[in-house]
Chain A
Amino acid sequence: MTTVVGAVIVALLLWLALWTVVARDAFLAVAGFVVYGLLLSLVWVRLAGIDVALTEAAIGGGLTGALLLGAVGRLRGTEAATAAERPGPGLRALAALLALAVTAALMLAVLSLPDPAPTLAPLVVPNLQSTGVGNPITGVLLAFRALDTLLEAIVLVIGLIGVWSLAPDHAWGGRPGLRYQADPDGILAYLARVLPPIGIVIGLYLFWAGADHPGGKFQSATILAAMWMLVQMAGLSDTPRSDSGWLRLGIVVGPLAFVAVGVFGIPAAGAFLAYPEGWAKPLILLIEVALLPTLVLVLALLMNGPPSRHGDAR
């Protein structure tokens, strides 16, 4: 029975991917992409990758959809010109052929892996107790490969700076986007008052559970950012001013704390980002707590876009 369902889901995913690529309208493509992301989280659950399923559901489902819809909105004016420039069928056939060739090469590579595929997982599990966390993924992300996580956090902040740099000169330091309007007695406003408290509790629960069970700061930050965006979308709160001191402090506190912990490791344990004996769990907790506001702010601000109106002039 489960093989039948697996086959159905795979066929569905392939069909959905094709449909998204050939959709005439950008809105259709985004809808297809969001459905694709949500279905993919089912696949991850089936493959026993619960942490990945959580991230896929959160990012692939909600946030990416909202981000792409914002992009589609901004591209409305240019859609006619783009449609006029569509490449001819010959070029499109060539592109399809290339994509198929890459897919076939990837499939061959995966299928020709030796049967116990080379992996470091058996080394992680026995060494996990020294990190003090029970979830091996958290252990890898924040202890064994903490450097990767640090660089990813820094890349996120740089990405945000890149988005902000698109602001016109007069709007620098102002608020991104337009203020959403919604009937203050309407359903959207009601939903935006009821859901965020629940979402915040769930987000913080996931953050705390990430130490020993699937979860962690990234999924938690995604939920918190989505709740904040919900409040903005209902017009209950304006987008934040990008020259706010607290905002900027919140954005950099994560990477700064991470680097500070890393530098602390040099005299204390002999290498950058090394954790002294017995200090692993508190240091990991410190890094996670510092990274949470960074991730929430960066994700929400990325969805808001570049500042476009000056703070004072509304």
Chain B
Amino acid sequence: MISVLDLFSIAAIAGGCFFYLAGTVGLLRFPDAYTRLHALTKADNLGLALVVIGLLPQMSGLLAAAKLVLVWLLVLLSSAAVAQLIARSARRQGGGQ
């Protein structure tokens, strides 16, 4: 018998995998650097967020859960900033290719 928490985890992680797929498809198929950047940093990020949310009920300790959330927040912060920086660099190099 699957508990409700396990069901929630499975649903969230499956959603996360879907967004990873979406991000990768975007990365491979979008026409230029800026759109690819968005696919990478926004969609993959959302996938990671769903994975973290899905894993939280599986954690059995406050420290481990806190680490999970910290990882997520760090990736959120750094990917948002890095997306801007890479886009600026791409623009300087001369338009998106």
Cβ A190 vs Cβ B81 within 8 A: yes
A191 interfacial by beta-carbon distance below 8 Å: yes
- Nearest CB on A from B34, distance (A): 16
- Nearest CB on A from B21, distance (A): 16
Distance A187 CA – B74 CA, assembled complex (angstroms): 15
Cβ A188 vs Cβ B85 within 8 A: yes
A158 interfacial by beta-carbon distance below 8 Å: no
Kindly list chain A residues whose C-beta atoms are within 8 Å of the C-beta of B97: none
How big is chain A's contact interface, by range?
Answer: under 10
Q: Determine the main DSSP class of B at the interface with A.
A: helix
Cβ B84 vs Cβ A198 within 8 A: no
Distance A198 CA – B74 CA, assembled complex (angstroms): 9
CB closest residue in chain A, given B84: A187
For window 64-84 of chain B, which residues contact chain A by CB distance below 8 Å?
70, 74, 77-78, 81, 84
CB closest residue in chain A, given B74: A198
For window 246-296 of chain A, which residues contact chain B by CB distance below 8 Å?
none
Distance A195 CA – B78 CA, assembled complex (angstroms): 8
CB closest residue in chain B, given A188: B85
Cβ B77 vs Cβ A195 within 8 A: yes
Q: Determine the main DSSP class of A at the interface with B.
A: helix
A123 interfacial by beta-carbon distance below 8 Å: no
A194 interfacial by beta-carbon distance below 8 Å: yes
Kindly list chain B residues whose C-beta atoms are within 8 Å of the C-beta of A190: 81
Distance A187 CA – B83 CA, assembled complex (angstroms): 10
Cβ B78 vs Cβ A191 within 8 A: yes
Kindly list chain B residues whose C-beta atoms are within 8 Å of the C-beta of A187: 81, 84-85
CB closest residue in chain B, given A190: B81
Distance A194 CA – B74 CA, assembled complex (angstroms): 10
Cβ A191 vs Cβ B74 within 8 A: no
CB closest residue in chain B, given A194: B77
For window 14-57 of chain B, which residues contact chain A by CB distance below 8 Å?
none
Distance A190 CA – B70 CA, assembled complex (angstroms): 18
- Nearest CB on A from B27, distance (A): 14
Enumerate the 5 nearest inter-chain pairs by beta-carbon distance, A residue then B residue, closest first: A191-B81, A187-B81, A187-B84, A187-B85, A188-B85
List chain B positions with a Cβ less than 8 A from chain A.
70, 74, 77-78, 81, 84-85
In the complex, 14 of the A-B residue pairs with CB atoms within 8 angstroms, ordered by the A residue number, are: A187-B81, A187-B84, A187-B85, A188-B81, A188-B85, A190-B81, A191-B78, A191-B81, A194-B77, A195-B74, A195-B77, A195-B78, A198-B70, A198-B74
